Homo-oligomer: A and B are copies of this chain.
């Protein structure tokens, strides 16, 4: 679809720091990674600066006590990591082609956020705070389980111990955590509550900020699968004609009939609540008809999936187009 692409290659796009905010296990790194991927897909140069990575150079496997507010040594080490990440980030922005840095850390206190804010303003950058607030216990638990097997903080440790320690770490953060509130209303921020069930948007002004907010409010953080199929052979395919709205050929019909079996064999989970999307053209709708009947999925049509219009050449065969003079064909092109 790419409806964002024409807007993202503005050469004037301002430089923005996206500052993640939230307790551990609230999907911050996942969001950071998705935002980076989305921006790069739209040709905006983006990078994630993960404070945890910096912290790990000196403290590769800290336990929960390291994150205790009363642990002065831990606090010092964590501040040093944040400083190193921010310094690298500011250096990265000196290349004016680099547009969006995502500062991935808990940034869970007002004073930490103010410290980052001052750095951002001093460097003449825009900011967007993104707080992920979540009390959905299922989601938090699945994040905790993910961490005990995949976090570099717990490499080589007993998974159950790791999960327990991580829960303790969260509790240490909870002691000092301050959600973004009225006292920070001068900040540009998005607060995403329970994965978008509720979203608060504050003081958005820049175009790219607004695109990011649109992306963030439409984020899916659980995996989804998409199966794609070409339409079966159509009668126009047989006659070599372009465009049009032909029926499937006999061979195309056979393909459509086999499609449910092909999809089933592709590792589809049973009773997956899928939706079939087709264009508004007969050949795609006919290709999907047996899928709809046999698997009982809803079938929707979307005009944007139609083949691009072939203009005055619609229905012509490629050989027949030479009856057109080149300048008439140019009229179609421009």
Contacts and interface: CB of A to CB of B under 8 A. Distances in A.
Interface of A: 1, 3-4, 6-7, 9-12, 185, 196-204, 210, 213-214, 217-218, 242, 280, 300-304, 308, 310-311, 313, 318, 321-322, 324-327, 329-330, 332-334
Q: Which of A185, A201, A218, A325 has the most C-beta atoms of chain B within 10 angstroms of its own C-beta?
A: A201
A199 to B, nearest CB: 4
Given A199-B201, A242-B334, A326-B321, A6 B7 contact: no
Contacts of A218: 210
A179 to B, nearest CB: 14
Given A11-B300, A196-B204, A329-B333, 11 more contacts: A1-B6, A3-B4, A9-B304, A12-B301, A12-B302, A310-B334, A311-B333, A313-B330, A313-B333, A329-B330, A333-B333
B326 A6 contact: no
A332 B44 CA distance: 28
Contacts of A302: 9-12
B10 A300 contact: yes
A242 B330 CA distance: 11
A318 B185 CA distance: 58
Contacts of A210: 214, 217-218
Contacts of A213: 217
